[in-house]
């Protein structure tokens, strides 16, 4: 019996234009709510952005934001894990010396941070993904915050290489997971979506085999392996398809909604 549903956002729940069929989802959600099925947004995105996307019900649902570093259940913080400041600063200094690293975004609880001299195109993209965003003169001037992750964009085709490189050059103190294409999220080792979901499930007394999860990319693998009912999107990366038990239609076809309707709206 399914008692909780976790969904990734980009490439999974959202279409390529970052939209979703809101009313269709809200109708399904009301059915799930009546059946006491928990709904969890499990994403690498900033918590503030995720709340905007689900604004009609944001106070009713749960979030595993920042790739699982921040866990919120109906406005109550369940868990927040962050980098040790020396590790954060050392990692940023290493990244600045790597020419393949084109852009850096440091993500904290209060805000995300970029540099004032970053290109305008990157600033606009950052403003879209991070509603809470500050420009600073340099990362040496980061304010006091709890830092969940470092997002980097690397030169084309370098994503896989950097996933292996980051743990090596940081002596295992930083893990790297794919955020899609050549974007990488650098995270505290072990603080992934599956770890966040385990905390929520334990909080509710729900077992992993009662969890349904949807994902499409490298940062979804642990979550897909955890869930008893795991769906990779038909547009997903080969590793996600391999990790999941089932295949859902593509994100462009609202595949998540199709599967949820089949499971919850039919009886």
DSSP secondary structure string for all residues of 113-129:
EEETTS-HHHHHHHHHH
| Strand extents, DSSP E, 97-226 | 101-108, 112-115, 133-136, 147-154, 175-180, 183-187, 211-215
Is residue 259 within 8 Å of residue 24, measured between CB atoms? no
Confidence check: pLDDT of 267 > 70: no
Q: Which residue, 9, 29, 7, is CA-closest to 19?
A: 9
The predicted structure's pLDDT at residue 181: 67
Active-site residues, by number, are 8
**Distance from C-alpha of 228 to C-alpha of 212, rounded to nearest angstrom:** 6
Confidence check: pLDDT of 201 > 60: yes
Confidence check: pLDDT of 179 > 80: no
Q: Could you tell me which residues come within 8 angstroms of residue 101 by beta carbon, excluding any fewer than 6 positions away?
A: 95, 152, 153, 154, 162
Which pLDDT band, with edges at 50, 70 and 90, does 159 fall under? confident
Q: Which residue, 87, 86, 88, 66, is CA-closest to 77?
A: 66
Q: Could you tell me which residues come within 8 angstroms of residue 116 by beta carbon, excluding any fewer than 6 positions away?
A: 135, 136, 137
Burial (CB count <10 Å: 0-12, 13-18, 19+), residue 5:
buried
The predicted structure's pLDDT at residue 231: 98
Q: Which residue do the tokens 């809101």 mark?
A: 22
**Paired residues of 178 in beta bridges:** 184
The predicted structure's pLDDT at residue 24: 98
Q: Which three-class secondary structure string do you get for 92-117? A: HHHHHCCCCEEEEEEEECCCEEEECC
Give per-residue pLDDT as tens, 203-249. Answer: 999 999 999 999 999 999 999 999 999 999 999 999 999 999 999 99
Mean pLDDT of 118-131: 93
Q: Coil, strand or helix: which one is 2?
A: coil
The predicted structure's pLDDT at residue 82: 95
């Amino acid at each position: 019996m399914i008692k909780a549903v976790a969904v990734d956002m980009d490439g999974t729940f959202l279409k390529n234009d970052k939209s979703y069929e809101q009313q269709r989802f809200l109708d399904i959600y009301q059915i799930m709510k009546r059946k006491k099925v928990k709904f969890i947004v499990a994403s690498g995105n900033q918590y503030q952005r995720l709340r905007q996307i689900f604004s009609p019900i944001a106070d009713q649902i749960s979030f595993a934001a920042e790739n699982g570093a921040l866990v919120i259940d109906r406005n109550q913080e369940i868990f927040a894990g962050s980098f040790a400041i020396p590790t954060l600063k050392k990692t940023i200094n290493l990244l600045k010396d790597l020419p393949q690293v084109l852009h850096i975004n440091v993500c904290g609880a209060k805000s995300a941070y970029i540099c004032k001299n970053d290109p305008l195109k990157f600033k606009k993209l950052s403003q879209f993904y991070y509603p809470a965003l500050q420009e600073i003169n340099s990362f040496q001037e980061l304010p006091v915050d709890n830092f969940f992750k470092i997002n980097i964009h690397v030169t084309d085709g370098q994503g896989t290489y950097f996933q292996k490189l980051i743990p090596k050059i940081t002596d295992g103190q930083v893990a790297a997971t794919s955020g899609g294409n050549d974007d990488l999220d650098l995270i505290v080792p072990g603080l992934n979506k599956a770890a966040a979901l385990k905390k929520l499930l334990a909080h509710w007394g729900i077992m992993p085999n009662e969890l349904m999860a949807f994902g499409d990319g490298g940062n979804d693998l642990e979550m897909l392996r955890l869930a008893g009912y795991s769906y990779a999107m038909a547009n997903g990366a080969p590793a996600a398809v391999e990790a999941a038990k089932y295949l859902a239609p593509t994100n462009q076809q609202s595949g998540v909604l199709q599967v949820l309707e089949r499971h919850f709206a039919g009886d």
